[in-house]
Amino acid sequence: MSSTAQQQDSDSKLDALLAKIHGLSDGASRQLPPLVPEKSAPPNVAADVPRQPPRTVPAGVSASQPTRPAAAIGFQPSRDEPWRPGEVRSLGESRVSETLLEQITMRFLLNAGEADGRAIAEQLQLPFRLVEPGLNRMKMEQTVAYRSSTAAGDYLYVLTESGRDLARRYVDDCTYYGACPVLLADYVASVKHQTVEGQRPQKDDLLKAFSDLLINPKMLERLGPAINSGRGMFLFGYPGNGKTSIAERVTSAFGKYIWIPRSIFVDGEIMRVYDPMNHELAMPESGGGLLSDAAFDKRWVRIKRPTIVAGGELTMEMLEVRRNPESNISEASMQLKSNCGTLVIDDFGRQRMRVDELLNRWIVPLEKRYDYLNMASGKKIQVPFDQLVIFSTNLEPKDLVDDAFLRRIPYKIEVTNPSEADFRKLFEIMCKVTKIPYQPGPIDYLIKKHYLPVERPFRNCQPRDLLLQVRNYCLYHGKPVELCNEYFDFAVENYFSVM
């Protein structure tokens, strides 16, 4: 065979081999799955899946942390203190934005003139390590400057000229420069931890709450389930039998303490919650160690479970968020301040606002356990309506409200007149209070001479009132403070002269 023929034969064999190799490769590519599976859905399926809109967060709020406030590390819940807010470890965990922190800081410096970093952190009620980066950034931006250094490695900060101009603009919007506010969602979550509905006070709790009152056992049996429900009740009956005294002591049956924020941030508005006029501060005692004050978030305060009493001065404005036009700081409504406690509407039916206005305003919150409040911006927010509401009145409930409202107040309890035996017992108790030696003889004279013949009804308030009259009479005339028939004659003539 010639060399040319041999070359052609070799080429044909090579072509056949290459064709066979290509055929095997094509078959393998058709039969084997791809090395990386496709994750995308077919076009017709993907088109049916709606795109999720980006999550929006109100201005002034950090979006990097969950809204639920954490409990303090190592804290053991109890009936007297079911929850405690844990210390924030980062600015994101506090849910406060750098912008809001800067605004409050600059307002404070504008008011104070100068302050070191730790004083600023104390004013904001945040750890210094969270405030210091913001101060450094403001120094870089030349809105604050160092006046001098301090012995603790800190600096004395003052506003620069441009910083003062910026601070004045912040003050025009709002004058608030107190503790950094808490997010509304965090406050709502805290109420769930401390709700009155979850306390379930029992008979021993009520006996302790009413230990300084003389209460008929039958009435106590009726009060117990009403308080246990944590919903609402009517206390009605003749004046002077202690309806208000009973209502004011109910709260202690739910436990001692709750935590509330000093203020709340709601979509650009700051609303004060802590009210020294209505809230009794009861901060935990410091252990004295370096970490003793680091166990809780200092933007919150511990108070005694609130008891807020509103009488004839109650108006519709008190039930809404009120904004000070000068400071642009909002004040929480009366019912929000009473959350996790007791709200007493005293002398119900004698308020400046009409009864039907109050009923229409609260008929839904009493049933649903939440309320809607209108902010100054026009935004409506949903907040907890979590308190025992007590309507105290001298009138018959059925004469004041309609059946629809009565249905939402499940308990109607009459505070009756005391028996003669209870009346005598009250004198014995009140003699100890007024420091007058108790003698049964003058009490017998009082009842037989001034009560039984004229069928005068006994009232729970009368022993205290008559004893005070006797005491003042004796002090005025320079006589020993004691009980005698003559002194009771004088007291009765004064006390019942127009009754």
The model carries a pTM of: 0.81
Dist CA 273 CA 326 (whole Å): 18
Q: What is the DSSP letter of 346?
A: T
Q: Cα 311–316–322 angle (5° rounding)?
A: 110
Which helix (DSSP H) or strand (DSSP E) does residue 470 occupy?
A: helix 462-477
Q: 225-282, pLDDT tens digit by residue?
A: 999 888 889 999 999 999 989 988 999 999 999 999 999 999 899 999 999 999 999 9
The domain ranges of the chain are 1-35, 97-180, 185-414, 420-495
| pLDDT (average), residues 139-146 | 97
Helices then strands, counting H and E runs in the chain, come out as 19, 17
Give Dmax over CA atoms of the chain in angstroms.
159
Domain 185-414: top CATH class: alpha beta
Beta strands in 43-151 (DSSP E): 114-116, 144-149
**For 15-29, 99-113, 117-131, which range has the lowest pLDDT when averaged over its residues?**
15-29
Q: What is the DSSP letter of 450?
A: H
The whole-number pLDDT of residue 141 equals: 96
Percent of the chain with pLDDT over 90: 67
The whole-number pLDDT of residue 401 equals: 84
Dist CA 287 CA 249 (whole Å): 31
The whole-number pLDDT of residue 35 equals: 32
Identity of the highest mean pLDDT range in 17-26, 373-382, 464-473: 464-473
Confidence of residue 15 (pLDDT cuts 50, 70, 90): low
Q: Are 171 and 110 in contact (CB under 8 A)?
A: yes
Burial category of 192 from C-beta neighbours within 10 Å (exposed 0-12, middle 13-18, buried 19 and up):
middle
Please measure the distance between the N-terminal and C-terminal CA atoms of the chain and give it in whole angstroms.
Answer: 148
- Interior/surface letters 204-231, b for 16+ CB within 10 angstroms, e for the rest: ebbeebbeeebbeeebeeebbebbbebb
Q: Are 118 and 108 in contact (CB under 8 A)?
A: no
Confidence of residue 290 (pLDDT cuts 50, 70, 90): very low
Q: 185-210, pLDDT tens digit by residue?
A: 999 999 999 999 878 899 999 999 99
The whole-number pLDDT of residue 210 equals: 92
330 φ/ψ angles, rounded to the nearest 5 degrees: -90, 150
The whole-number pLDDT of residue 138 equals: 97
Confidence of residue 61 (pLDDT cuts 50, 70, 90): low
Dist CA 153 CA 41 (whole Å): 59
pLDDT at 43 over 70: no
Name the residue among 333, 339, 313 with its Cα closest to residue 321.
Answer: 333
The whole-number pLDDT of residue 350 equals: 86
DSSP state string for 198-266: GT---HHHHHHHTTTS---HHHHHHHHHHHHHTSEEEEE-STTSSHHHHHHHGGGGG-SEEEEESEEEE
Confidence of residue 13 (pLDDT cuts 50, 70, 90): low
493 φ/ψ angles, rounded to the nearest 5 degrees: -60, -40
Taking the domain 420-495, which CATH number applies? Answer: 1.10.8
- Interior/surface letters 458-484, b for 16+ CB within 10 angstroms, e for the rest: bbbebbbebbbbbbebbeeeeeebebe
* 97-180 fold: Arc Repressor Mutant, subunit A (1.10.10)
Q: 214-228, pLDDT tens digit by residue?
A: 988 999 999 999 998
Same fold yes or no, 97-180 and 185-414: no
pLDDT at 382 over 50: yes
